[in-house]
Chain A
Amino acid sequence: MQTFAPEKETTNKPTVISKTGSQAVLEAFLAEGVETVFGYPGGAIMPIYDALYDYNDRLKHILVRHEQGAIHAAQGFARVSGRTGVVFATSGPGATNLVTGLADAMIDSTPLVCITGQVFAHLLGTDAFQETDVINITTPVTKWNYQVTDATEIPHVLAKAFYIANSGRPGPVLVDITKNAQLQLFEYSGYEKCTHIRSYRPKPIVRKEYIEQAAELINKAERPFVIFGQGVILGKAEKEFKQFIEKAGIPAAWTIMGMSAIPTEHPLAVGMLGMHGNYGPNVLTNECDVLIAIGMRFDDRVTGRLDKYAKQAKVIHFDIDPSEIDKNVKADVPVWGDCKETLPLLTKMLEQKVYPQWLQKFRDYQQKEEDKVIREELNPTGDILTMGEVIRNLNELTGGDAVVVTDVGQHQMVACRYAKYNQSKSNITSGGLGTMGYALPAAIGACYGAPERKVVAIIGDGGFQMTLQELGTIMQFKPNVKIIILNNNFLGMVRQWQQLFHEKRYSFVDIQSPDFVQVAKGFGIPGKSISQRSELNAALEELLNTNGSFLLEVMVGKENNVFPMVPQGRGVAEIVLSKEEI
């Protein structure tokens, strides 16, 4: 290994390694096992980029086209790998461009460490060129943030940053480093990982009595129902979760963030919860007698009207974050802790059971949904292509092994409703924040997070135009992103709401698109646009089999709606299957 810092040697003193703050940042990355950084240089972060020049053999840097692209890429990386995503951005606009991604990562609990450059410490507060108060701007959207003005702080601040980002309930961390600290030479005494912060409790201690109470409730239940979220994935507790539901024999439904934690075809899987989730799990939420929520936060898109949500049920809530307990839905039994620890303890106390009649109820509702919605969506009788059939064909070709990254809107709901998954960490989507423009950069990041897997980005015509500059990143670094644009020539979800709730007053939803294939071609990415069913399978095969990235635009029905739907302000049991029922 080369040493890049000048070494001070005197005859009567032991050797002291001097490093610059910038080098210390990169040493921290190496010590934390970081291999890929997504970033964009600029004035205030130049010393770090200068140091990076010498670490090029050990750290891969992906130069994005916009800082928002960098942070979404880091999110995609983190979501698909479970590791911390790392971002570089400069001060001022570079840092403010991260804000959307930070908010997204905060609400979706994605572990990130973002390093922003900052003006010299002596210029702080002077309205210097490219100075913004990044710490205060990002405070509400970071799990933790810190401004470094002295290089000697860097090793332990970064150790803290990595520890906080990916422990307990994960989240984004931002470290703002002034330029003088990046340049400053200091006596470097190595990097030590952080394992404890006295004011920070990543995991509450597991209290046995609650697990006993939960087991008792579950063992006595007649119609128990499990709903789970991303906590199962973040806790790497997929196996423990599966053992739990299989022993207890309880039907399980996922939130959009929990999707893929168990295979979609699992015999106890009953589908997705929420506004555009499946019929059965929504209706039967209000018929179960024990509701077991695991690693989920009762988002309003999941619960609908709270005063009509599962009022008949005893609620058991497993969560690692104490502030989630009783936040939206009152828990009868709160099981605080890491579900990787709590679930096995619970499973041990459970009786082996099956609930054939209860499970059949889910299947009956599923059949109703199949008849009224799914069949026509997946096997349409009309000539015009539907989003659903694209996903169905994709499932057949990938066998459910692909990582599916979606943007936000109708295509997101359709993809999450119909995509098949065999393994965990396969559904990457902006769940909490609903960030349009998320998919393309997140898919780029996912390629680096799971290089062995096929990454398919499913994006609407609107969302694609929000971050399409990242095609430039694909052009330059050649990750294999399989891009599918489901183009309905509308901002479809808003249009659907305008149709259903605003008397069809289509206010600024008829978005025009460029020739996406030509745009891709300009970036050296091959592409194709289709509108006929007869072309669909061959086009999808071409997309998947092309060496490298490919863009496939599929023209789909302009005014198709996503159903079922729990209209806003209604209870989950008031879910409707068609617009006539609204």
Chain B
Amino acid sequence: MQKKEYTITVYTENQVGLLNRIAIIFSRRKINIESLNTSPTEVDSVHRFTIVINEFEDVVRKLCRQIEKQVEVLKAYYNTEEEIVWQELALYKVPTDVIATEVKVERLLRENGAHTVVIRKDYTVFAVAGHREETEALIKVLEPYGLIEFVRSARVAIIKASRGFHERLKDFEKQEPGEEALENEFLDKNEEIFSM
């Protein structure tokens, strides 16, 4: 067994302090968070954390259980890269005069799927959404043309097998939750189930 990249998706209530509660589950075990994103979900009032870490599956499973144990956490899932669709957004600031004079640059940007966000006299900002290799490749492309600034967002990920949270939430809201909300669902169906 070796460490792998896992994307953890956590459905939560939206409450002050919950980010800290989740973050310390990792820091307490000296595990580095590679990327963390918080976002609303398709369900009003439900919040979503997307966390990327490099760890052994066994550790990731335990982490997810610790996360789910938090009172305000509805559900935590972990997935490998193959089980999700994911994107990161990158922004690049480049001097406008270079782009204006070097026609090649515009072609390169187009080839890399970049679109223009802002054009000013002194600089232009491009955006690219994609996988890490893609956003990183464009840095290399733009460096010779005087890349001024680069920033990349956290990962956002959609779980391929997920049917969303609407149905699930209804189940959670019941006094006696059904099988769907059961925490031990994965124990005997480890292979086929995407959730923990």
**Residues of chain A at the chain B interface (Cβ within 8 Å):** 135-136, 139-140, 143-147, 164, 195-201, 204-205, 207, 209, 321-323, 325-327, 334, 336
Contact = CB atoms under 8 A, between A and B. Distances in A.
Interface string B115-152: 00000000000000000000000000000000000000
Given A139-B24, A323-B68, 16 more contacts: A139-B17, A140-B28, A146-B17, A147-B17, A198-B173, A199-B12, A199-B13, A199-B74, A199-B172, A201-B183, A205-B179, A322-B183, A323-B62, A326-B62, A336-B183, A336-B184
B62 A321 contact: no
Contacts of B12: 199
Interface in B63-97: 65-66, 68-69, 71-74
B21 interface: yes
A472 to B, nearest CB: 36
Contacts of B40: none
Contact of A201 (B13, B24, B181, B187): B181
A135 B62 CA distance: 25
A142 to B, nearest CB: 9
A322 B17 contact: no
Contacts of B13: 199
B71 A164 contact: yes
Given A327-B62, A334-B184, A145 B177 contact: no
Contact of A195 (B20, B73, B169, B175): B175
A140 to B, nearest CB: 5
A322 B73 contact: no
B31 interface: no
Interface of B: 12-13, 16-17, 20-21, 24, 28, 61-62, 65-66, 68-69, 71-74, 169, 172-173, 175, 177, 179, 181-184, 187-188
A201 B62 contact: no
Given A201-B181, A207-B184, A322 B69 contact: yes
Among all A-B residue pairs, the 5 with the closest Cβ atoms: A323-B65, A198-B172, A322-B183, A144-B71, A199-B74
Given A201-B181, A322-B183, A196 B175 contact: yes
B184 A199 contact: no
22 contacts: A135-B17, A136-B20, A139-B24, A140-B24, A145-B17, A146-B17, A147-B17, A198-B169, A198-B172, A199-B72, A199-B73, A199-B74, A199-B172, A200-B72, A201-B183, A204-B182, A205-B179, A205-B182, A207-B182, A323-B68, A326-B61, A336-B183
Contacts of A147: 16-17
A136 B69 CA distance: 18
B177 A205 contact: yes
B69 A321 contact: yes
Contacts of B71: 143-144, 164, 197, 199-200
A477 B150 CA distance: 66
Nearest to A204: B183
B187 A334 contact: yes
A210 to B, nearest CB: 8
B187 to A, nearest CB: 6
A205 B71 CA distance: 17
A327 B62 CA distance: 7
Contacts of A145: 17
A346 B146 CA distance: 72
A59 B73 CA distance: 35
A146 B20 CA distance: 13
Nearest to A140: B24
Nearest to A173: B71
B10 to A, nearest CB: 11
A209 B187 CA distance: 12
A208 to B, nearest CB: 12
Contacts of A139: 17, 20-21, 24
Nearest to A195: B175
Contacts of B20: 136, 139
Nearest to B183: A322
A204 B74 CA distance: 13
B74 A198 contact: yes
A336 B68 CA distance: 15
Contacts of B173: 198
A164 B188 CA distance: 29
